[in-house]
Structure 1
Amino acid sequence: MNLDFKKAVDQAIAAHKDKRVLSFSYEGQDYFIKRKISNHRNAFAKQSVEGAFWCEVYKIMTVNQYFPLAPEIALLQDDYFVMKAVGKTMQGVAKEAPWQDCRDRAYKLAGISLAKLHEVGLHHGRPALRDIAYNKETDTITFLDWENEKRFIEADPRVLDLILFVHSCLREHWPDNHLLDEALKGYTVSFTGREMVRGAKALIKSHPKAFSLCKKLRVFGWRDVTSLDDTRKYLEEIPLA
């Protein structure tokens, strides 16, 4: 262990005692520290603090045994871990001008990378755009925030990954679905990706009352509800051979 590095991390934590996630730099490299403390979100939708922390560590280490689609853990302690910074979130790629020339590539690669994860039987848990980063210099995708494991419906978690990814894109209310289309082009190159699309279609078909209710509730303009109905329509319309 680099004791100077650990000392710098501990000093950063001491300076921001109430922060769960914080950034800092060490010898020209940017890092993020994630601590084992509550984020004060709805506990109904989350695991315990202890469970979420070690779940994320385990999933990151498991994924990185196959391919580098999770952050590199530079330091692991009982109450925090430190990750190397990895790039711009997909939300930023879609919105910010410096990323305009590589948006299509980034979203297609995000789809390819999600399919790669699913091909080996792994899943993320909530691949929202804020939890996926693109590094323009290395042309790589990294999935962030691996702590989500609670599910409220019995289904293949990879199918739920796909639905949540599409929902996250449609929740942005872009003027068109071009970037989402690029991501799904990348995702469905894989046989497993196409099978997950079939699984998503089947899941929607098996819960007609829930999705019909979302359609009826569109009138209220609730963002997550309207985006879920849009997700249903988008997935139903994907052509598969």
Structure 2
Amino acid sequence: MKVFSIMNVSHHLNSVEICCIISVVNIAKEIGFFVNRDFIDFVEKQVSASAKRVIRIDWQNESFWVKSPEETRVTIWHRLASPLSTLIKNPLLRSTVASGGAEELLAEAARIRLLHQKGMPVPEVVAQSDEWFVIRDGGRSIRGVLKDKTLSAADKLGILQKVAAALGDIHARGGWHGRPALRDILWDGEQVTFIDFEENLAARLDPLLCQVRDLLLFTHSLFRLWGDADYSRPVLNTYRDTAPVSVWEQSIKEAQRLNWACKLLKVARHVGGHDVVNAYLTLRFFSEYDKAS
């Protein structure tokens, strides 16, 4: 089995980050997980037997997830985003969809390892080849948690506030996710874990805009699955109190810059579906935040 060299993704990372990742890999090798041939053979067998891109496996009373590469399905909106971004001189609208394939899979694993090394709430990558990587299970998706009828509204709000605080902490440490939708965030009853770091924002946006994009996408997902500003304000206030002030302030500025888009979305929201409605609500929330606060 071929194992990728970390240098294959060196163009995504600086020398310090690469050294950190190599250190993590060496530690993992020392504790024996990467050289567990039985585990590797088991993963290979499960991957070969499944047509799914992401599969769950159980090994020695512990659950893991195996992720394989997938060619990106670029939509017309992805193709239009970058020209529009250039036309209106707003880099926030650039398409950041990953190109897919094995190289992008390796780059995602490297991003996860780097954040894990820095102590951020991401899963541990326990094994990897040129065709897949394996992470430890982190619990249920927040989307699933919100559908759980055994949990009270207060319980769900408390979990969402922990999620918001975790995202704010990632930003406070200089990191970002790329697409922090609630379906890509897990809860195990005690801890929050962020997964799916497919999009390489750093190749297109500066760090502050990466974090602003995180906040806007998180808010969009929050409005869609939890409720509009009245329900979501306590969650967003938790983020605001945890994250750098610059991210919150810049999000307000970006929403105000996109006032024209907010007006278009207001007109289209009756026929555009949930995404359009919640994009409108997100831009309106931040563009009017000063008035509402």
| Superposition CA RMSD, Å | 2.4
What residue is the counterpart of 1:76 in the other structure? 128
Q: Give 3-state SS (helix, strand or coil) of 2:150's partner.
A: helix
Correspondences of 1:48-197 after superposition (within 5 Å): 48-100=100-152, 102-136=155-189, 139-149=190-200, 156-172=209-225, 174=227, 177-178=230-231, 180-190=232-242, 192=244, 194-197=245-248
TM-score by length of structure 1 reads 0.87
Give the aligned length: 235
CA distance in 2, matches of 1:226, 1:176: 13
Displacement of 1:205 in angstroms is 1.3
Task: Choose from 40, 58, 63 the match for 1:6.
Answer: 40
- Structure number with the higher helix fraction is 2
Counterpart residue identity of residue 278, structure 2? S
1:153-193 CA distance string (max 9 Å, x none): 88711000000000011123648743x3332132112250x
TM-score by length of structure 2 reads 0.73
Q: Report what 1:41 is aligned to.
A: 73
How far, CA to CA, are the matches of 2:38 and 2:155 in structure 1? 38
Question: What's the secondary structure of 1:224's corresponding residue?
Answer: helix
How far is 1:235 from its partner?
2.3
Output the amino acid matched with 1:10. Answer: E
How big is each residue's C-alpha offset from its partner over 1:60-104, in whole Å with a ceiling of 9 and x where there is no partner? 011111114111111111111011111111111111123436312
Cα separation, 2, equivalents of 1:82 and 1:191: 30
Query: Matched residues in 2 for 1:175 and 1:160: separation?
Result: 19
Following superposition, the deviation at residue 148 of structure 1 comes to: 1.5
Amino acid corresponding to residue 58 of structure 1 in structure 2: A
> 1:152 & 1:222 partners in 2: Cα distance?
28
Aligned to 1:200: 251
Q: Distance in 1 between matches of 2:246 and 2:151?
A: 31
Secondary structure in 2 aligned to 1:56? helix
- Rg larger for: 2
SS in 2 for 1:188: helix
Q: Return 5+ residue gaps in structure 2 as ranges.
A: 1-34, 79-96
The answer to whether the 8 Å contact 1:124/1:146 transfers is: yes
| Runs of 4 or more above 4 Å deviation | 150-155
* Structure 1 range deviating more: 85-94 or 217-226: 217-226
What is the percentage of aligned positions where both structures have the same residue? 24
